[in-house]
Amino acid sequence: MYPCVFLFWFAFYGVSTVSRVSAWRGGSVTIPCFYGDRYKTCVKYWCKGRLWYLCTSIVHSDSPKEGKVSIRDDPDQRVFTVTINNLTAEDSDYYWCGVKISGGSDAGVQVYLSVTDGKMPVM
């Protein structure tokens, strides 16, 4: 398959995000999850766990806040963002950007969040 064709297919049909994010303990992080046109009206979600089929759902776009985690969908830009506040070491883990597919397998992509001790530099 030609790379351009693959990129077009992925951009139109797939879900994508960064593969790894680092953040400071006590801070917050916002992770973008991009999706294709066909998912504009679908429910988006964020789940935790190394394996897709075992991940634990944390928040959904139809119920956008759960504790320190919130999700916001922008269908016009085809992106949903997940924000996690008051980060702790226990938040370091694998997560998934997911899209609920009616009558089919959900679409998703994995991201690793690493929370480290330290302080932000003063400018």
Neighbour count for residue 47 (Cβ, 10 Å): 19
CATH architecture of 15-116: Sandwich (2.60)
Give the mean pLDDT of 86-92. 97
Give the mean pLDDT of 15-31. 95
Q: How confident is the model at residue 51 (pLDDT cuts 50, 70, 90)?
A: very high
Q: How confident is the model at residue 120 (pLDDT cuts 50, 70, 90)?
A: low
- 43 DSSP assignment: P
Q: List C-alpha distances in Å: 27 to 49, 88, 89.
A: 21, 8, 11
pLDDT of residue 8: 37
Neighbour count for residue 123 (Cβ, 10 Å): 3
Give the mean pLDDT of 67-89. 97
Higher-confidence position of 2 and 13: 13
